[in-house]
Structure 1
């Protein structure tokens, strides 16, 4: 079982690593553009009405489809993390170095920010919706919800994309990852916002200038992702099945 490693600067600035950062930037930009764009589209067609069941389903499906594509197009280059919480979970399990993971996260955050500013321009200045807690949901409750649903996401990533025993399951990994995100949005969207992704929440916060409660979407997903990496790596993976970050 690989351990946590800081990494070397020459590895993190190799040509392959730089290509991986670019791939993460593009994949995250595509995902956030579609995900946030679906929320803007809902606000447009409903004239800013409160989120209803049909809108929740539509937004969840848009995120699921977009993430499926984003993971698929980045898988062979960067692994298709598209999420700092996923990158952190893999770093905890030793499948990517801390240093390289930091650059992955920077690329993901930049992709999200650019996507949101572009959306603000091409939609004619529509307000960029940010993640927020539902009515009556306390910060701690929202935080725990984000921990749980991000744990489910990163656990799915490990089971379908990282574990070398995955066999044919690995071929449907992007579908499984997209499905768990869509399902989690349906379950948690009205309560915590259903982020699971610091980049997905940070881009809209930057573009709108509204950082209220944004810490929840950093701490919750990072805790959940880290726990998933620890649990899956220590319970279900063994030394003779150790994999490298390039496997995902």
Structure 2
């Protein structure tokens, strides 16, 4: 899978996310009010994004391609020695560009309805500042990458990784959404934040998942050395 393919997949994911937010909570939507806010909307969004991750990762693993949709995942897999270092920067650039294009395309298609839901940009809950958000977002990515590392040494579990990762992404959105925003993915926030202009904590949402991957990579390396 090339970086161009990664760009297309991330564009599609972000367009889907903003579109879902527009139809669940946007003004004039016939679905607005049917899904209780905010918990019900987070559950729907979590199931949707988790399904996208599962659908993309399954075929990608069978063909030994990529389909990361997440810069922190690309960095983490490189640290786990299962992704070439020379491909990390092209993939990260493609994912961030795809995030911006997906959010911008959704704004173009849905107009004020997308703007009314903040272009699906993430926001922390009351009382959650940069520090707690950073720890929550980094911690969720650390946990996910450690699951990947553990599964990678067990072929029977590796086959189950796509639905497991989809479930992990869904859980992050549902359970951390009311607090940190529930991103765990720099590409999830990059485009919506720029399109909507809500860039106050953008640096946290960009750096925290990568920090989580770095921590998971360090733990995995330590385990390998001890073995």
Which residue, out of 76, 90, 94, partners 1:107?
Answer: 94
Q: Report matched runs for 1:185-200 at 5 Å.
A: 185-200=173-188
Partner of 1:15: none
TM superposition score normalised by structure 2: 0.86
Corresponding residue number in structure 1 for 2:206: 218
Q: Structure 1's 62 and 29: CA in aligned 2 closer, same or farther, altered over 3 A? A: same
- Which residue of the partner structure matches residue 174 of structure 1? 162
Equivalent in the alignment of 2:14: 32
Aligned match for 2:142, one of 122, 139, 151: 151
Asked whether the 8 Å contact 2:79–2:214 carries over to 1, the reply is yes
Equivalent residue for 1:46? 32
Cα separation, partners in 2 of 1:57 and 1:108, compared to 1, 3 Å: same
Structural mapping, 1:7-156, within 5 Å: 19-44=1-26, 45-46=31-32, 51-75=37-61, 76=63, 78-125=65-112, 126-127=114-115, 128-156=119-147
SS at match of 1:122: helix
Checking the alignment, whether the CA contact within 8 Å between 2:6 and 2:68 is kept in structure 1 is yes
Residues 39 and 174 in structure 2, CA contact (< 8 A), matched pair in contact too: no
The superposition leaves residues 42-69 of structure 1 with CA deviations (integer Å, 9 ceiling, x where unpaired) of 212337x993221121111111111112
SS in 2 for 1:215: helix
* RMSD, matched Cα: 2.3
Contact 2:76 2:217 in 1 (8 A): yes
Conserved 8 A contact 2:137-2:205: yes
The answer to whether the 8 A contact 1:72-1:80 is kept is no
Does the CA-based 8 Å contact 2:143-2:216 persist in structure 1?
yes
Deviation sequence 1:76-95 (CA, Å, 0-9, x none): 26322111101111222333
Helix, strand or coil for the counterpart of 2:125?
coil
Report how far residue 177 of structure 1 moved. 0.7
Is the contact between residue 17 and residue 120 of structure 2 (CA under 8 Å) also seen in structure 1? no
- How many residues align? The count is 217
Distance 1:39 1:145, change over 3 A: same
Tell me the residue number matched to 1:16: none
Q: Name stretches of at least 5 consecutive residues in structure 2 with no aligned partner.
A: none
Conservation of the 8 A alpha-carbon contact between 2:14 and 2:103 = yes
- Further displaced range: 124-133 or 215-224: 124-133
Q: By how many angstroms is 1:217 displaced? A: 0.6
Higher deviation after alignment, 186-195 or 116-125: 116-125
CA contact (8 A) 1:27 1:82 kept: yes
Instruction: Give 1:24 shift.
Output: 1.4
